Every structure is written in structure tokens, then in C-alpha cells.
Amino acid sequence: MKTALICGISGQDGSYLAQLLLNKSYRVVGTSRDAQVSSFQNLNSLGIREEVQFESMALNDFRSVLQVVNKVKPDEIYNLAGQTSVGLSFEQPVETMESIAVGTLNLLEVIRFTQQPIKLYNAGSSECFGDTGDRSADEETAFRPRSPYAVSKAAAFWEVANYREAYSLYACSGILFNHDSPLRPKRFVTQKIVLAACRIAVGKLDKLVLGDISIQRDWGWAPDYVEAMYKMMQLDQPEDFVIATGEMHKLQDFVAAVFAYFGLDWQNYVISDRRFFRLTDIASSCGNPQKAKLTLNWEARYKMQAIAKMMVEANLANQACS
């Protein structure tokens, strides 16, 4: 039985990844800053909380990371932890850098220090590319980060590449484009849109105020994307991959798809307010997943329209509108 250590197991990706690995007969251990008080609500939602073991670990504390790795003795470590909000990173740049860049460095150093054959997956981000314009970013596209979050993710990516080359570690990064699911926190714009449309449809809300709805993104389905993470860790040699659908849509298109589910014209309910625009937002972001298709035999099964529908239906099933 393989053992997987998932840093950031309480998040969207960590929870779906835990479910996937349990189905593959892994022993799954998840970390949180204080595992004794964390609710692990997403794991409860998936019905797998009792199948997972937990350890308290602070990624920005080398000794804490070392102690947990020595105790768990994982075959694979999935680093999905750290501050996850681009918007919040402008307000908390130091915490963002420490939780992502320093946390990743501590994991790499612990693996190097213990000299154990541990494989490391690092969660990269499409935010590293910045604005891709009318082109799709692939593994050779240069980084141009435009937020503290993106800068942190870019630093972590190059840390992984450096340790892989300098110390021959099995360390890889998945450069994931936007991906959503019903487990996405409500502060994220897609969940905000779904919940608002749901409440407008039952007469509990009049308007939805958003920032720039002309931005374009490549939206995927989180359960699809954790399969790509797993496949990356099964290769003989570590490689980095762009994980994306290859399709780009305006945020306005996502809004329209969600409101259309309820038979509503979004233009009657949605207001775009410049006060909610980001300091340096990305106008267009699209990925080229060709390498993942050829090397991993991985392809996104769900695209934007289907994702919008599934997220609405999940909210209705959970009675989130009430």
C-alpha cells in the first residue's frame, strides 16, 4: 500500500485528490495547521473523512515539516497548501509568499535532507503566465506574474525545477488553469455567481455586483484536474505539465450560462462595478494541454457550460438558495 501525504487536504483539490487516492487503495494522510480543530468540511461532503488520517503541520516551519514527513513516511507528497486567493494576496503578500514559496522550499529541503525516495507534486498556477492574449500558454511559455500570489507560485515552480535538476529529486509541477467544483469556497467568483443566481431565482436577492466581467479564463472541472496530478506522479521521470481545457470564455459567458439555467436574462440582474476591479487583473488566460494529452493520456472531460450546470445543480441539491 502506497502512502500519500496531502498538504492542503481541506481545500477543493485536496479533498477530491484524497477521494481519488483512496479509491486506488492508498493510505492517505492530510495536513492542517491544527488538525485537531479543523472541520475538514469538504471531506465530510465527500463522505471520506473517516478514511483519512490527519497530522498538524506548519509548512513555513522546517522542523514541523521534517517531523511529519519522518512520522508518516510517505511515498508521494502532494503540495496543495498555501494562500489560494489572488485578490487576498494583494492584502496579505507576505503571508502569501511564506505559505507558498517558503512552504514549497521546506518540503524540497526535507526530501533532500532525509534522502528518502519521496515523489513531490507541486501545485503550480496559470497565474504565473499573466495575460496570454490570443495565444494558449504551454510548458515553454515565459512567466509574467501580475499578483503577489502569481509571484509566489512562480518562485515555487522554479524551486521545484532547481531541486529536480540539482539533486535529482522526483519533483514536478502541474501548471493548472482555473478549475471549479461545488467544493470551491464561496469567496471565489464562480461560487458567488452561482449562489446569487440561485437566490435571485427564488426572490431572495435583487442584484449581483461583480468586477470586470469581460475577463477571459480557461475553466475546468476540479475532479478532472486531480486525475492529472496523480498521472504526473506515476511517470518514470518527473516532468511539468500545463493542465487546462484549451478553451477560453468570458466571465460574462459563465454568468449567462448560470442565469440561463433558471430561465433568467443575466443583464437584468448583474452590475459590473469598477470598485471591484483588481489592481492588475489578467484580461485573457488560456492553456494548451497538448503535452498532457500526449504524455499522460489526460484530457479535460468537462468544459465551461457543463461546469456551470453542475455547480448550479449541486447548490440546489444542497439547498444553498434557502
In DSSP terms, 137 is beta-bridged to 287
Instruction: Return d(Cα 276, Cα 272) in angstroms, integer.
Output: 8
| Number of Cβ within a 10 Å radius of residue 104 | 30
| 322 belongs to the catalytic site | no
Q: Which of 127, 136, 225, 285 is catalytic?
A: 127
Which among 16, 121, 149, 163 is annotated as catalytic? 149
Catalytic status, residue 173: no
E strand residue ranges, the chain: 3-7, 27-32, 53-56, 76-79, 119-125, 171-176, 179-180, 208-210, 216-217, 220-221, 241-243, 249-250, 270-272
Contacts of 14 (CB under 8 A, 6+ apart): 6, 7, 8, 30, 42, 78, 80
Our separate counts of H helices and E strands in the chain read 12, 13
* Residue 127 a catalytic site member: yes
The Cα–Cα gap between 275 and 264 comes to: 26
Identify the burial level of 39 via C-beta atoms within 10 angstroms of its C-beta, where 0-12 means exposed, 13-18 middle and 19 or more buried.
exposed
The conformation of residue 295, written as its DSSP 8-state character, comes to I
> Catalytic site residues?
125, 127, 149
